Structure 1
């Protein structure tokens, strides 16, 4: 019998902002609105990923974006994003030369033609250092583990309560 997969936890250390953003599609036949809404997020994530890679090489200012995951909630797209700080998240959202602000302004323009077609929503969770807990048994390239790798569970504690307190 093969040995069980080692238990690991995330290696990321520090404050973290979990930003959830999604769209609820109420009138999917409104292609002019729905299509534009669905096209905007991949452009923003691509921009943020490019910046993250450039910042790692010292070629750009770090915007604070750590990574993202796309999810479906009952057929409605949601993006889970990881950031270093709320200040960096808000700075990105307000920056006129980056993708978010123009996309948000454009949304108000074309959404007025079909105000019930979609709902855009977001939630922001600021988690202080030490307020994170995770465990992975098996392939761990998901969630916090996808940001900065993993360490053995014993480094942070064998039990969830120990890892969260540490």
Structure 2
């Protein structure tokens, strides 16, 4: 029997993608610090449930990592990114300093998506444990939210409205 699950979250959320693209493999002095800075930031976020951070998944690509982060709101993302006392601000300042010394060695990018309640749906088929949004918010049987993607979206929309 195939095990079908979905995530356990009905409200608004933000999806924040951040990644690094290694442009000059032969210049780890230019790209390694940018990659290494993400771990301490994620640890800081996991240790602070009040930050609005729900969880993250790291994906490794041919030219660098992408971290998919789930947040309660876009405002929570911005609050963390701009807080002087948090790890992000000093890491960002250091990134710019190093980029001047080793130009073009690494690129950093991000994309932010504000997802309204009722605007997100997931399905995990035969996945042991939790991953993605379900790892960040909890796992429930898909049958409790609907048989199809359309039904799961409708269910979340009705619960949030």
TM-score (norm 1): 0.87
Which residue of the partner structure matches residue 37 of structure 1?
34
Which residue of the partner structure matches residue 105 of structure 2?
117
Aligned pair partner of 1:141 in 116, 130, 147: 130
Identify which range, 27-36 or 127-136, moves more after superposition. Answer: 27-36
Q: Quote the offset at 1:92 in angstroms.
A: 0.2
Judged with a 3 Å threshold, the aligned counterparts in structure 2 of structure 1 residues 75 and 119 are, in CA distance, closer, same or farther, namely closer
**Residue pair 1:24, 1:77 contacting (<8 A) in 2 also:** yes
Identify which range, 140-149 or 62-71, moves more after superposition. Answer: 140-149
Which residue of the partner structure matches residue 83 of structure 1?
71
Which residue of the partner structure matches residue 159 of structure 2?
none
Which residue of the partner structure matches residue 44 of structure 2?
47
SS class of match (1:112): helix
Q: Quote the offset at 1:74 in angstroms.
A: 2.1
Structure 1: any 5+ residue segments left out of the alignment?
53-61
SS class of match (1:80): strand
Instruction: Name the Cα RMSD after superposition.
Output: 1.3
Structure 2: any 5+ residue segments left out of the alignment?
156-161
**Residue pair 1:92, 1:100 contacting (<8 A) in 2 also:** yes
Matches for 1:64-103 after TM superposition, within 5 Å: 64-103=52-91
Q: Quote the offset at 1:23 in angstroms.
A: 0.5
TM-score (norm 2): 0.90
**Residue pair 1:24, 1:120 contacting (<8 A) in 2 also:** yes
Whole-Å separation in 2 of the counterparts to 1:44 and 1:38: 11
